[in-house]
């Protein structure tokens, strides 16, 4: 209640100060004030409704990758031999990528197929870099891989993205790396 009284006093003081600094010829007529408010509200409405109803631009991208054995550098005193025992015959070779980038935030969704398995792509493209997580479509599959992908633009506006992806199986005994190149469809 005290807060409301203080607010009312502040508004009253502001009204008195404003009316003292102007003469009556400076005040707009009541008819002009009444017609200005609906005009301002009407002009603001279309802009806000178009912004809300605007469809985000979606661009489709596709390309390929070439998977190979990914280097792993354990500490010198590590006794783990899993990575040196990898014959490098599983999950290597060429594969395909298809994704879409949409919205002002660059939301990225897509799929990756090939020797690394069927993976879902989810990430963000900021106009310069595309950063995405790679997760298996079937996480219970024996050869399910999980990892990340980092691509960068080559040119402006970006017509192609190049970079690498890195994945491993669930026990991280198989580590794969791939060079990636995608272009706008």
Does 42 share its domain with 103? no
Q: Residue 98: name the closest of 110, 85, 83 by CA.
A: 110
Does 76 share its domain with 104? yes
The predicted model gives 98-114 an average pLDDT of 95
Rounded Cα gap, residues 121 and 133, in angstroms: 6
The per-residue pLDDT for 159 is 86
Residue 133, pLDDT above cutoff 90: yes
Does 84 share its domain with 42? no
Report, in this order, helix, strand and coil percent for the chain, each rounded to 5: 25, 40, 35
**pTM attached to this predicted model:** 0.68
129 falls in which pLDDT band (50, 70, 90)?
very high
Does 45 share its domain with 15? yes
Residue 178 bridge partners (DSSP): 67, 165
Tokens representing 74 are 């354990």
Does 68 share its domain with 136? yes
Does 45 share its domain with 8? yes
Does 81 share its domain with 132? yes
What is the number of structural domains in the chain? 2
Calculate the average pLDDT of the chain: 78
Does 10 share its domain with 66? no
Does 162 share its domain with 76? yes
53 falls in which pLDDT band (50, 70, 90)?
low
Does 20 share its domain with 94? no
73 compared with 98, residue with greater pLDDT:
98
Residue 173, pLDDT above cutoff 50: yes
Range(s) of the domain holding residue 22: 2-53
The dihedral region occupied by 111, where left means phi > 0, alpha psi between -120 and 50, and beta the remainder, is: beta
Q: Residue 180: name the closest of 142, 147, 137, 140 by CA.
A: 147
Does 11 share its domain with 29? yes
| Cβ atoms of residues 53 and 78 within 8 Å | no
Give the residue from 53, 68, 95 where a domain finishes: 53
Give the residue from 53, 75, 94 where a domain finishes: 53
Does 169 share its domain with 94? yes
Domain at 62, CATH number? 2.40.160.90
The predicted model gives 154-165 an average pLDDT of 88
């Amino acid at each position: 209640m005290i807060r409301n009284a203080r607010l009312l006093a502040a508004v009253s003081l502001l009204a008195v100060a404003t009316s003292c600094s102007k003469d009556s010829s400076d005040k707009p007529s009541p008819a002009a004030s009444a017609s200005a408010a609906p005009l301002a509200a009407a002009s603001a409405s279309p802009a806000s409704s178009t912004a809300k109803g605007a469809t985000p631009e979606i661009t489709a991208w596709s390309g390929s990758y070439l998977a190979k054995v990914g280097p792993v550098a354990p500490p010198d005193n590590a006794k783990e031999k899993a990575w040196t025992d990898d014959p490098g015959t599983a999950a290597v070779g060429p594969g395909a990528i298809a994704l879409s980038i949409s919205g002002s935030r660059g939301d990225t969704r897509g799929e990756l197929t090939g020797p690394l398995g069927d993976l879902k792509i989810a990430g963000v493209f900021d106009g310069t870099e595309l950063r995405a997580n790679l997760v298996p479509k079937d996480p219970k599959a024996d050869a399910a891989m999980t990892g990340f992908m980092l691509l960068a633009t080559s040119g402006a506006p970006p017509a192609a993205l190049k970079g690498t992806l890195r994945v491993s199986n669930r026990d991280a005994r198989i580590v794969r790396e791939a060079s990636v190149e995608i272009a706008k469809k």
